[in-house]
Amino acid sequence: MSGFEKFVKFVTKYVTLWVILCAVFAYFVPAPFKPYGGTIPWFLGIIMLSMGLSMTPNDFKLVLTRPKDVIIGIVTLYAFMPLVGLGLGTIFHLDPMLTVGLVLLGCTPTGTSSNVMTFLAKGDKALAVTVSSLSTIVAPAVMPVLLLFYVGKYLPIDAVGLFMSIVKIVIIPIALGLLIHKFFTKQMPVILKVVPLATVGAIICIISVIVALNVERLQAVAGMAALTLVLYTAIGLLIGYTVARLLRMKAPKRKAMTFIVGVQNTALAVTLGITYFDPMSAIPGAIGVVWTTVFCSFVASLWGNKTEDTTEAVPPAQGTAH
């Protein structure tokens, strides 16, 4: 393993630590980051380009071989998670823009981190990869409709503009990544060595800018926002697992469903929140970047260490939802 590969492995292994450190720095020293609010969509584009570079036609083969599982995953995600966000915002009487942020997070597709969590948990990674890819592809059509329905009363929703924005910062970079993968096959081993580093760098930049732009707001709402994100994530994991259990899916599929529903594209929620709504609506996604990674990694590692005989029990997420 080369020195560069070791460096990339080190950076990606401790990504949560880098995110926390940079977020804390941006909180106490926000001035250097504030002028770069307009760069957030570009950084998300880098993340989506990285996703496209890592995708292959095999990521979609389950649509043909196991369409029922894929449809269940996507429908469960988009049907339940916006309601969870709206419900928590209503129960805790959150600031309307925080509620919008929670619903926005609930309307986002499955995050690619769900693939990693499913792998760690020894779940059905093929199902996780397919749902994360397909839920992202359909996001431009699904997200504006859901947001218009759930948060249209809080603020005007530019559904057409939102659709075009998601296409530009999600679909086009993914398509470009797929094209590069197709036409530069020989160079892909080298390119894929850089992809994780670019993704981590983009995530750190997004979070640093968002924190810097929301210092005053975070001082007022950080505690309540953090509490709702803890509950939001735990409920999402529980819903994914419960739906799979009720449908009598086998253990590997249940694990995949748990993270398909509980792990979402927080970077997309942050980007759309600050671009189309209000900086405060980006706070749930910003907190979610850190919390989802920490909590779901913990759940996945515990679950993955269990024997197959014990995977029939209720997953750790259910016991920690409090």
Give per-residue pLDDT as tens, 67-79: 999 999 999 999 9
How many Cβ atoms sit within 10 Å of the Cβ of residue 304? Answer: 16
Query: CA 27, 31, 33 angle in degrees (round to 5)?
Result: 80
166-192 as b/e: b if 16+ CB within 10 A: beebbbebbeebbebbeeeeeebeebe
* Nearest in space to 114 (alpha carbons), one of 287, 256, 319, 305: 256
Residue 264 DSSP SS3: strand
Please give the backbone phi and psi of residue 87, each rounded to the nearest 5 degrees, phi first.
-65, -45
Query: How far apart are the C-alpha atoms of 93 and 112, rounded to whole Å?
Result: 31
What's the 3-state SS for 278-316? CHHHHHHHHHHHHHHHHHHHHHHHHHHCCCCCCCCCCCH
Three-class DSSP category at 322: coil
For residue 99, which of 86, 111, 112, 108 has the smallest C-alpha distance?
86
Give SS3 for 7: helix
Q: Which two tokens stand for residue 313?
A: 């029990």
Distance, in Å, from the CA atom of 262 to the CA atom of 64, rounded to the nearest integer, reads 25
pLDDT tens string 221-277: 778 888 999 999 999 999 999 999 999 999 999 999 999 999 999 989 988 888 888
Largest CA distance in the chain: 55
Q: What pTM, to 2 d.p., does this model score?
A: 0.85
pLDDT tens, N- to C-terminus, the chain (322 residues): 678 888 888 887 777 788 888 888 998 999 999 898 888 889 888 988 988 888 877 777 788 888 999 999 999 999 999 999 999 999 999 989 999 999 999 999 998 888 888 988 889 988 998 999 999 999 999 999 999 999 887 778 888 888 998 899 889 998 999 899 888 888 888 888 888 888 888 888 988 888 888 888 788 777 888 899 999 999 999 999 999 999 999 999 999 999 999 999 998 998 888 888 888 888 898 888 888 888 888 888 888 777 554 444 434 433 333 4
SS3 state at 29: coil
SS3 content of the chain, % helix, strand, coil (to 5): 80, 0, 15
What is the distance between the alpha carbons of residues 262 and 240, in angstroms, rounded to a whole number? 7
Whether the Cβ atoms of residue 119 and residue 260 lie closer than 8 Å to each other? no
Residues 6+ apart with CB under 8 A from 290: 16, 19, 20, 23, 207
- Helix/strand/coil (H/E/C) assignment for every residue in 109-129: CECCHHHHHHHHCCCCHHHHH
- Say how far apart CA 278 and CA 34 lie, in whole Å: 15
In degrees, rounded to 5, the angle at the alpha carbon of residue 28 between the alpha carbons of residues 27 and 32 is 80
Can you tell me the distance from the alpha carbon of 262 to that of 246, in angstroms, rounded to the nearest whole number?
17
Instruction: Write b or e for each residue in 94-119: b if 16 or more Cβ atoms lie within 10 A of its Cβ, otherwise e.
Output: bbebbbbbbbbbbbbbbbbbbbbbbb
